[in-house]
Structure 1
Amino acid sequence: MDAPRGTYDLKVSNLVAAPAKGVPALEIQTRGALEGERATTVTTVTGGGIDLSAQGSAPLGDGPIDMDVAIRELPLKIADGFLPNSGLGGALMGTAKIGGSAKAPAGTYDLTVKDLTSARAKGVPALNVYARGDFDPKRVVTDALVTGGGGIEASARGSAPIGQGDLDMTVGLKAFPLALANAFAPTLGLGGQAMGNARLTGPVSAPIGTYDLTVKDLTAAQAKGVPPLQIAARGDLTGERVSTDAAITGAGGISLTAKGSAPIGDGDLDMAVAIRELPLALANGFRPELGLAGVLRGDARVLGPVSAPRGAYDLTIADLVSAQAKGVPALQIATKGALEGNRVTTDTQITGGGGVQASAKGSAPIGDGDLDMAVAIGELPLALANAFQPQLGLAGALRGSANVSGPIAAPRGTYDLAVSGLTAAQAKGVAPLEIVTKGALEGDRVTTDTAITGGGGVSVTAKGSAPLGTGDVDMSVAIREVPLALANAFSPSLGLGGRLRGDVRVAGQVSAPQGTYDLSVENLTSAQAKGVPALQITSRGTLEGQRVTTDTAVTGGGGIRLTAKGAAPIGQGDLDMAVDIAELPLSIANGFSPGLGLGGKLAGGAKVAGPIAAPTGDYDLRVTGLTAAAAKGVPALQITSKGALASGRVTTDTAVTGGGGVRITANGSAPLSATGPLDVAIAIRNVPLSLANGFSPGLGANGTLQGEAKVAGTASAPAGTYALRVTGLSTQATRGAGVPAASIDAKGRLDGQRVFTNTVVTAASGLRVTANGSAPLGAGDLDLQVGGRAPLGFLNDTLSVSGDRIDGTATFDVKVGGPTSAPRINGSGALQNASYSNRAAGLQLRGLSASVVANGTNINVASLRATTRNGGTISGSGRVAVDPAAGFPGEINFQANNAEVVGTDIVTAITDANLKLEGPLARRPVINGTIRTRSVEIQIPDRIPAQYTPLPGVRHRNAPAAVTRQLAALNTGGGKGGSKDDAFLATLDIDVQAENRIFIRGMGMTAEAGGQIKITGTSAAPVPVGAFQLRQGRSSITVIGKRLNFTRGQVGFAGDLDPTLDFLAETPAKGITAQVLISGNASSPKIEFTSNPAVPQDEVLSRLLFDKSSGELSPSQAITLAQAVAQYSGVGGGGAGPLDSLRKGLGVDNLDLGGGSGGGLFGLGIGKYISDNIYLGVTQGTSPRPPA
């Protein structure tokens, strides 16, 4: 039969397969011919970015192949269809030619992979791979190049067998950035470059080869701060063994080498490491807080099988210091030893460090095995610990030795240690302690024989044994003496004195030990109980598992006798304890707080039994003769209290009695928790309010309290009723203010979170205040109606000290609501037809009335009006915010119109004013504004006031209280400027404007001034500053009929309301210029007569009055001169003269009567302001010429 022949033309569309899930559908077109035993083909595969073709012929059996394959593009992402999550990117392209026979194909290839990436190497730049070569049935030859990847350049040339055979491959690494590894492990933070080459030859199963690698500038994020390292390594591979000759160097002196060989798998090691220099500061790059310094040097050699190596080491560390041991001198460490299989031997010496001398010799297993180690401590200064914990302040030295041997799981050993001269900063002042301890370790048990001495008399021993884990304890502690003053070193304020002695024995299981104790404290004293006699305490008992029994007695302390006997659990369990107080002087408390001044004694007993969570018991206590410094003068009280504890409740029957019929009782029960019901009744009879004076000495309370109260509900929501009565209530403050003694009658109830009240306060003179409503016990809203009537006259006893008086009645009716933190007040208050006067200032206010309206958050002063003595008016209005936290901020405006605000013998002032009071009224408000004077009269006494000296030794006996208060105020300056404790204090900022009409008269002087002053300071201590200047042309002084015009004049203020005067008048007189100087305060001015050239004062007056010297005077003129000297030197009385009284009677501003000018015998001058700035004056004389 002839060989078949034919053609084919096939197409496969949308080809998909389950094993290639995710690969896009493919299109395959193939055509060709069948010619006998050969087939020809032209095939293309497309789809999903794939474009490849195959063209040629192949035998149907054995025979030659002739095929060309062209890969125009093959996206590598199609690999995800076979290997999910491989995340490859890039494309494969190239050609291949296949020849040879079907049984032994051969050919060539030329392939390129462009932009190769992988999701597993995210962050690595794309690679480009180029590979060409040929192949036959037994061998592949390649010449490959890899570039990209952020700087990679690598090559591989040679051949490899297909199956068994010999390798012949050379790999070259021109550049490999180590940072590429960060894409796989970002925390590495590697930097540097790797380069080198390697060659492999010989059989695949046992290749041989060489390598020569270099790493430049190696850095890592975990070794931040370590200088870049340089690594050079070369060696060879021979069968199953690798040899190496490596060196590591770097900045800072790093230099180490490693030479030798190691097996691949089992075999023998032969490696020598030489550390020329390795700065320990390198470790700081990994752990900056270590702060290490020093240098490691030495050698190590490892030989023998990997499973049981042998070796030796000889290492030194020079000048080791650490930041964590700051202040510790450098240590020197030398260690040498050997590795023998699974065992290491060592001989280590540590010196330096401020005197450290220690060694360790012996051996230890790697894993299980026996220890054999001896540690000798020649000296270990305890001050080394201060470098780690400076506050320890340790001193002293540890010396001794320890030996450990036997299996690690159950070692045996001995120790013999001594601590000498032990002191600590926390025990400053404690004498050094000496500790000696020796013992043994036997498996899981430690024995000890320890003694502690020194420390100012300490003597304690501990002997016995204890397990390292579970097991039995067997320990005896003997306290021969422990001075309690040792505790003062830790807490100096304790000031303890006394000694502790006794014995303690513990045995049995650690989890449930048993034992006994017998302890005594002798002569216990304490700085906090200074003055309390020494106590003696004895306590003995047992420990039985989780239970402690005790039999304790306390005596001494000025009469203390009490005992406590019974048992208590450690943790949960039942109590069974009885306390018997035969006598406990309450004066003991005075040792802790001397101000208590307690007296009396406590006696009685208490018993407690049952579970700690729900105990039961009873108590019966008595206090006799109770007194206290805080209640000085109150008769001694007696207290009896008995009750029981059961079912989570405590019951009580308590009574307090005393002199004067005092009796307070409390009966009922209360829960131990906050959730149970309360049931307590309290009765109060004849309790003097003076008891409160002991707690607040300045209170000065008087009065008596009576009442009853019943409390039910719960502690969180109490309920009940109360009725309280106070009679004769007064305090030092109310008595000082003249408030009469009051009576209070308050009734109400508790209802959960609120207290309801119906309270009436009454007192003499018609004072009555009522309060009805409720208030919250915590947060919540107020709901109170408060009203009352207060006659202001009761204040006059107090006001009289400063010369004030007030009359009238204030009434108010308000409702208080809103939260306690921001209350709201609604209602009104009024003051009608009241009056006020101040004797010192001569101020009189009549028809004083005020109307105040509260509307929630504000109190409005709707009106305030009064009339002054001269018919002028003062009025005001404003607002005050109800904001206690802000100090009740407000603003009140005051106006004065033609008001006489000062009317004394010295000063009379009539003003207009516009003032404002603003700011926090309860703290430090400000008063500012302007006062404009209409007229001010300053009257100087016609004679200098005579100076009087009180008779020595004369006292005012049985002076009335008001007189006593007035004298006290005068002596302390209280009448001038007020007290620093004034309830109201405002800052002043007031301008006083007076262009003219400030008249200064007296002693023959008539002057007019004007100007401005400033009033600062406070309402309690005003400070006027400034001066009024003389108005020229209307100011003169007449001296015994002789008139002189002032050439200079000033009325000044320098901190108080008594002005200072500075006036100068001059005139020619008989060859001199006579001068009259008036100075000092207006209340006590100083008159001086001087001249130029200077002559005696009587001579100045003689020439001024008579135009002749004193030696030329007639007898009558001499008498006149003597009278003038007396008048101006303070001999005789003072006050306004008849001429000033005549001026006031005529209603004029100026009246001048004196010697005529220009030689006239008589002159009369009258003047008056007819408007603010227009003055009309008339002068009539006896001279034939008109007046000047």
Structure 2
Amino acid sequence: ARLSASAVAADLALTGLPLRLLQRLDLGPRLGGTAEARLTLSGRPDNPDGRATLTMTGVAPTGPSAPDVPPADIAAEARLANGQLALEAALTRLQGAQFQASATLPMQVNLTQGQFLLPPSGAVKGTLTIAADLRRLVFVALALGEDRVEGNVEGTLDLAGTIANPVLSGQASLRQGRYINDATGATLQNINLDIAGEGQSLVLRDVKANDSEGGRLTGAGRISFAGGGTPEVDVKLTLQRLRLINREEGTAVGSGELTLTNDPRNGGDSLLFTGRTRIDQADIRIPDTLPPSVTSLDVREINIDARTNIGERAKQRQIARQKAATAPRAPGLMDGLRLDLITEIPGQVYVRGRGLDAEFRGTVRVTGTATAPVISGDVSVVRGVFNFAGQRFNLDRGNINLIPSEGGGLEIALDILAVANVADIEAQIAIAGEVLEPQITLNSSPSLPQDEILSRILFGTNTGSLTAGQAARLAQSALELTGKISSGGVVDDLRQSFGLDTLEVDAGDGNSGAGVRAGRYINDKLFIGVNQGLGAESSAVVVEYRFLKNVTIESRIGAASAGDIGIVYERRY
């Protein structure tokens, strides 16, 4: 390359660049494929001629959370001559899909002064032609991230006029589209819309979509390029009992209006997303049993692009999301989108499960920006009860906290207090924490240990008056209340109260049910235990007698069997 006051000459080439390097250098998303580029310049520095080409082959998102889109080839070319810049771009190697764009516009280039100007009065001309299923377009998949969109889009849009006063014409349509939001589980189907160029505006009309339960979304809008400054945006969407959340732990149906306009706070240079909506009905479900804790292992994978196991890919996508939540985030297009969303909850928002049945109401407001939302509001209980061990607890306090998590997710946290007068105390059950794994604790007035509170709830008396059978039921009720119990807390208190050597409460798994195991050493050789499951036929008495150093006789007599006996030989190395 050579640059002087009178001439410029350059011929730069790049070949065989792996696109995965872009992600490693924080220059782009994680992509597969290779790129080649070439730049040539000649002529005078104040009015040079030039040509730039870019070819990318086999471009597709990679990684465990990558959307399933076919690889594409991308070819782009820019030619600069006599103050005119000609641009062409196309997606190729997409069977049954077409995407081509071309444009010509004025550009004044002065390399000596570092100027690149677009004269406002200069003529422009351009064409965009598309005919494809959106799910096959790699750049659409990259823009949506974890979300998914599909549908046939077809049409041609033309550009004419000048830089200051562009003139748009043509039309494009989306038919039978479908959109799935990864964070909320919401799905829009039968999406139909038209986009038309009308003079200095791009018009969005006849937006229609529905969910699977009869909810509807309609809308229209306009983007005006008149005046040569920041485009004026005015888009409005109307929701009619649309399913907004459709997840395993809850569903929600809402109505209202959403608008996207220029933000008046900064002269309209950025956008404002406004919403006035209400939740018509919602049902948040607390699981009856809690998932076991799983230790996350740091695994290094190879040949990940070749994986075909769908379940494994789903697990890896979850791990990738967790890592992305803690990783520094690069600036994005949505950073300047300001939010002003208010959602009214007049009632009929129910939280059910594990004995809880409650209705809530309140107001939630979302401000901040799309990438850093701030959620505030007050959601409190209208009425509700908590049923446990035959006792009816009234809800004295109930709040639902909506906590935004990094990466655009949302956590639902509970803060609920249920009270009932039992025996000689006021028993209190507190439910707090994330909706998928709430923490349940017992308190009382006057203050007592948790096992004493539970004993009064179940039997109306203290633990010192319980029989062995009642003690087993007490442990089972602790299991029912919490879903899983460690060796400490209530169980450990019970073990010490009854003078037992072992007391275990097992929440069960996919192969075995829940149960209680209790036992005591009569002497250093004889151990007697009782196993009690949740079924009537699952009780058993276990006797272990060690008559030699390494030899033990084990006998088991249960309700479903006449008895078993075995000899166990054990030797430690």
Structures share a fold, TM > 0.5?
A: yes
Corresponding residue of 2:356: 1005
1:688 to 5, 11, 15: 15
Show structure 2 runs of 5+ residues with no match. 109-118, 308-312, 485-506, 511-573
Distance 1:863 1:889 in 2: 20
3-state secondary structure, aligned to 1:1031 = strand
Distance 1:1013 1:966 in 2: 28
Instruction: Give CA-to-partner distance per residue, 1:271-315, whole Å, 9 cap, x none.
Output: xxxxxxxxxxxxxxxxxxxxxxxxxxxxxxxxxxxxxxxxxxxxx
For the aligned residue pairs, the C-alpha RMSD in angstroms reads 4.5
Instruction: Give CA-to-partner distance per residue, 1:899-955, whole Å, 9 cap, x none.
Output: 1110112221011121111116996411112111111111112245443334x6665
Assess if the C-alpha contact under 8 Å between 1:802 and 1:840 holds in 2: no
Alignment of 1:778-793 (within 5 A): 778=108, 779=119, 780-793=122-135
1:1078 aligns with 2:431: yes
Instruction: Give CA-to-partner distance per residue, 1:409-431, whole Å, 9 cap, x none.
Output: xxxxxxxxxxxxxxxxxxxxxxx
1:847 aligns with 2:197: no
Distance 2:290 2:318 in 1: 26
Cα–Cα, structure 1 residues 979 and 794, in superposed 2: closer, same or farther, change >3 Å? Answer: farther
Task: Write the letter of the residue equivalent to 2:98.
Answer: R
Assess if the C-alpha contact under 8 Å between 1:941 and 1:1134 holds in 2: no
Distance 1:1095 1:901 in 2: 44
Cα–Cα, structure 1 residues 928 and 953, in superposed 2: closer, same or farther, change >3 Å? Answer: closer
**Aligned residues with identical type, % of pairs:** 24
Show structure 1 runs of 5+ residues with no match. 1-638, 642-670, 1136-1188
3-state secondary structure, aligned to 1:1100 = helix
Task: Write the letter of the residue equivalent to 2:411.
Answer: D
Instruction: Give CA-to-partner distance per residue, 1:477-499, whole Å, 9 cap, x none.
Output: xxxxxxxxxxxxxxxxxxxxxxx
3-state secondary structure, aligned to 1:1079 = strand
Distance 1:860 1:1133 in 2: 59
Alignment of 1:249-328 (within 5 A): none
Cα–Cα, structure 1 residues 996 and 774, in superposed 2: closer, same or farther, change >3 Å? Answer: closer
Shift of 1:984: 2.5
2:199 to 853, 856, 860: 856
Alignment of 1:95-110 (within 5 A): none
1:913 aligns with 2:256: yes
Task: Write the letter of the residue equivalent to 1:1053.
Answer: L
- With a CA cutoff of 8 Å and minimum separation of 6, indicate the structure with the bigger relative contact order: 2
Cα–Cα, structure 1 residues 775 and 1065, in superposed 2: closer, same or farther, change >3 Å? Answer: closer
Shift of 1:851: 1.2
Distance 1:1018 1:1134 in 2: 43
3-state secondary structure, aligned to 2:377 = strand
Distance 1:693 1:1111 in 2: 68
1:938 aligns with 2:291: no
Assess if the C-alpha contact under 8 Å between 1:787 and 1:813 holds in 2: yes
Instruction: Give CA-to-partner distance per residue, 1:355-414, whole Å, 9 cap, x none.
Output: xxxxxxxxxxxxxxxxxxxxxxxxxxxxxxxxxxxxxxxxxxxxxxxxxxxxxxxxxxxx
Corresponding residue of 1:929: 275
Shift of 1:989: 1.1
Shift of 1:1061: 2.0
Corresponding residue of 2:105: 775
Shift of 1:766: 4.2
1:826 aligns with 2:175: no
Distance 1:835 1:1091 in 2: 52
Alignment of 1:590-605 (within 5 A): none
Alignment of 1:432-831 (within 5 A): 688=15, 690=17, 698=27, 702-704=34-36, 726=55, 728=57, 740-744=71-75, 750=81, 752-754=82-84, 760-772=90-102, 774-778=104-108, 779=119, 780-794=122-136, 803-831=146-174
3-state secondary structure, aligned to 1:973 = helix
3-state secondary structure, aligned to 1:833 = strand
Instruction: Give CA-to-partner distance per residue, 1:977-1033, whole Å, 9 cap, x none.
Output: x9453333422111111111011111111111112121122222333212222113x
Distance 1:1083 1:695 in 2: 37
Distance 2:365 2:21 in 1: 47
Cα–Cα, structure 1 residues 1059 and 828, in superposed 2: closer, same or farther, change >3 Å? Answer: same
Cα–Cα, structure 1 residues 776 and 912, in superposed 2: closer, same or farther, change >3 Å? Answer: same
3-state secondary structure, aligned to 2:334 = coil
Task: Write the letter of the residue equivalent to 2:367.
Answer: T
Instruction: Give CA-to-partner distance per residue, 1:1032-1052, whole Å, 9 cap, x none.
Output: 3xx111112322222222223
Assess if the C-alpha contact under 8 Å between 2:388 and 2:481 holds in 1: no
Distance 2:284 2:208 in 1: 28
Assess if the C-alpha contact under 8 Å between 1:759 and 1:771 holds in 2: yes
Task: Write the letter of the residue equivalent to 1:972.
Answer: A
Size of the aligned set, in residue pairs, is 452
Cα–Cα, structure 1 residues 842 and 799, in superposed 2: closer, same or farther, change >3 Å? Answer: farther
Shift of 1:803: 4.4
Shift of 1:759: 6.0
Shift of 1:764: 2.5
Assess if the C-alpha contact under 8 Å between 2:276 and 2:343 holds in 1: yes
1:877 aligns with 2:223: no
Instruction: Give CA-to-partner distance per residue, 1:99-127, whole Å, 9 cap, x none.
Output: xxxxxxxxxxxxxxxxxxxxxxxxxxxxx
Instruction: Give CA-to-partner distance per residue, 1:819-877, whole Å, 9 cap, x none.
Output: 33553332222211111113442211111222111223221111322211322112221
Corresponding residue of 1:98: none
Corresponding residue of 2:369: 1018
Assess if the C-alpha contact under 8 Å between 2:396 and 2:417 holds in 1: yes
Distance 2:435 2:470 in 1: 30
Assess if the C-alpha contact under 8 Å between 2:41 and 2:48 holds in 1: no
Corresponding residue of 2:422: 1069
1:1126 to 455, 469, 479: 479
Cα–Cα, structure 1 residues 756 and 959, in superposed 2: closer, same or farther, change >3 Å? Answer: closer
Corresponding residue of 2:448: 1095
Corresponding residue of 1:983: 333
Assess if the C-alpha contact under 8 Å between 1:886 and 1:920 holds in 2: no
Distance 2:188 2:269 in 1: 27
Largest Rg, 1 or 2: 1
Distance 1:1097 1:996 in 2: 34
Shift of 1:761: 4.2
Distance 1:1045 1:935 in 2: 23
Corresponding residue of 1:896: 239
Instruction: Give CA-to-partner distance per residue, 1:1070-1129, whole Å, 9 cap, x none.
Output: 211111122222222121111111122122112112222223334443222111112333
2:394 to 1045, 1057, 1072: 1045
Shift of 1:973: 0.8
3-state secondary structure, aligned to 1:1121 = helix
Cα–Cα, structure 1 residues 787 and 955, in superposed 2: closer, same or farther, change >3 Å? Answer: closer
Assess if the C-alpha contact under 8 Å between 1:943 and 1:1128 holds in 2: no
Cα–Cα, structure 1 residues 753 and 1067, in superposed 2: closer, same or farther, change >3 Å? Answer: closer
Distance 2:411 2:301 in 1: 29
Task: Write the letter of the residue equivalent to 1:926.
Answer: L
Assess if the C-alpha contact under 8 Å between 1:703 and 1:729 holds in 2: no
Corresponding residue of 2:470: 1117
3-state secondary structure, aligned to 1:1064 = strand
Corresponding residue of 2:490: none
2:322 to 970, 976, 982: 970
Corresponding residue of 1:1060: 413
Distance 1:1024 1:719 in 2: 53
Distance 1:1001 1:1069 in 2: 24
3-state secondary structure, aligned to 2:248 = coil
Distance 1:1123 1:843 in 2: 38
Assess if the C-alpha contact under 8 Å between 2:443 and 2:450 holds in 1: yes
Instruction: Give CA-to-partner distance per residue, 1:214-251, whole Å, 9 cap, x none.
Output: xxxxxxxxxxxxxxxxxxxxxxxxxxxxxxxxxxxxxx
Cα–Cα, structure 1 residues 1061 and 867, in superposed 2: closer, same or farther, change >3 Å? Answer: same
Assess if the C-alpha contact under 8 Å between 2:290 and 2:436 holds in 1: no
Instruction: Give CA-to-partner distance per residue, 1:589-625, whole Å, 9 cap, x none.
Output: xxxxxxxxxxxxxxxxxxxxxxxxxxxxxxxxxxxxx
Instruction: Give CA-to-partner distance per residue, 1:450-478, whole Å, 9 cap, x none.
Output: xxxxxxxxxxxxxxxxxxxxxxxxxxxxx
